[in-house]
Chains A and B, each alone.
Chain A
Amino acid sequence: MKGNIKVVVSTKKLRYELNLRRNITIIQGDSATGKTTLIQIINDYLSSRTGPGTDVICKKKCAVLSGDLESVLIRLERLSDTIVFANEQEHFLYPKRFAAAVLKSDCYFVFITRDDLHTLPYSVNEIYCLKNSGYYQNTRQVYNSLHQIYPESSTKKHFKKF
């Protein structure tokens, strides 16, 4: 998979818009910004539990990984051309075997974690936090979007110094 991929997740009360630019995107930031809720909505939607009013719109397939490392590795082997989400507090995120499977995959990954994933190569510009920017276009939906934690303008300036 290559290029920008847009993912829109919406319920009656919430709307998330994510623009994914690289194969690995990290979401971190303050508590209570809706990171876990985002994953829960996608997971419930994919499991056909949500009913009308909830949507996950993306031109690619989406998947949420959870469970033990062995099951996750088997599932990952079968996924292709998919946006794969994983929440923090999953043990499988950290071992080298998971990193190796991610590197072999043609999927895009969105990891919610504050701890560094030392075994995975990801860009500092692809580390984001979720920000709530009020209500979406005169609806009751609270609008959340990704904001770079280390904006490109500031990282470029920093590298110029050297």
Chain B
Amino acid sequence: MLNIIISRGSADLDNKNYVFSPDTYFKYNYEEEWFNDNLVTTMVFDIDSSIVESPHMINSPILGQIAPERLSGGVKALIIMYKEPDLIVNASACGDNCAKWILEIGKRTDLTIRLGYEMEFPEPFDICIKNSGHITHTYEDFLKKFQEVEIIER
């Protein structure tokens, strides 16, 4: 199931498994075999319009042949969520176009993410808001729960 920790304001998550910058985490920790997975190549194609030719080379329509490090921040965050579900990834690195994939990963594995904005999840969905333990199924309800979370500034 997909669990979301809503975090508003400047207070960071106090958890050793929290990945604030998926981009940086990916750069130092991605594994080549991740790119042999169908879901990974499908997400790369859907979000970045790019084709995984090999674990070392990705064909981007705009940037040409690129290394995995140059994929978008959103797709890198998705790959970490999928391949290392024990981590709590900062999903604010993902745009609305990643929402359906976060739900898909949440269906395949128990996943917890941190989110700081009102990502537009396509209905229907089952999302557990970890702040309150409430399970939400509609975007309207999700927005209400988002607004209820206290803004903490430091």
**Interface residues, chain A, with chain B CB atoms under 8 Å away:** 13-14, 28-34, 36-37, 88-89, 91, 94-96, 113-116, 118-119, 132, 142
Interface-side segment among B92-100, B103-111, B125-133: B92-100
Smallest beta-carbon distance B93→chain A, Å: 6
B48 sits at the interface (CB 8 A): yes
- State the majority secondary structure of interface residues on A: loop
Task: Collect the chain B residues with CB atoms within 8 Å of residue A113's CB.
Answer: 92
Chain B's closest residue to A29 (CB) is: B95
* A31 engages B12 (CB within 8 Å): no
Partner of B75, one of A31, A95, A119: A31
Distance in Å: Cβ of A56 to nearest Cβ of chain B: 19
Inter-chain contact A89/B21, CB cutoff 8 Å:
yes
Q: How far is the CB of A135 from chain B (nearest CB, A)?
A: 11
B153 touches A32 (CB 8 A): no
Cα(A37)–Cα(B24), bound, Å: 15
Contact of B92 among A91, A95, A115 (CB under 8 A): A115
Asked if B116 is at the interface of the complex by the 8 Å CB criterion, the answer is yes
Task: Provide the bound-state CA to CA distance between A88 and B76, in Å.
Answer: 14
Listed by A's residue number, 12 A-B pairs whose Cβ atoms lie within 8 Å are: A31-B95, A32-B47, A32-B49, A37-B63, A88-B73, A89-B21, A89-B22, A89-B23, A95-B154, A118-B151, A132-B62, A142-B62
User: Which residue in chain A gives the minimum CB-CB distance to B72?
Assistant: A32
Interface, chain B (partner A; CB < 8 A): 8-10, 12, 20-24, 47-49, 62-64, 72-75, 90, 92-98, 116-117, 151, 153-154
Question: Residue of A at shortest CB range from B21?
Answer: A89
**Nearest CB in chain B: distance from A65 CB, A:** 15
B95 touching A114 by the CB < 8 A rule? Answer: yes
With A14-B62, A31-B95 as known contacts, state yes or no: A91 contacts B20, CB within 8 Å. Answer: yes
The one of B12, B48, B62, B93 that contacts A91, using a Cβ cutoff of 8 Å: B12
B74 and A32 contact, CB distance less than 8 A: yes
Q: How far is the CA of A65 from the CA of B129 in the complex (A)?
A: 33
> A22 CA to B97 CA in the complex, in Å?
28
- Cα of A58 to Cα of B75 in the assembled complex, Å: 32
Is the Cβ of A118 less than 8 Å from the Cβ of B117?
no
Report whether B72 and A36 are in contact in the complex, using a CB–CB cutoff of 8 Å.
yes
Output the least CB separation between B87 and chain A (Å). 15
Expressed in whole angstroms, the Cα–Cα distance for A113 and B73 within the complex equals 12
Q: Which of the listed residues B64, B90, B116, B151 has the most CB atoms from chain A within 10 Å of its own CB? A: B116
B153 near A13 (CB under 8 angstroms)?
Answer: no
Of A14, A88, A132, the most chain B CB neighbours within 10 A belong to: A88
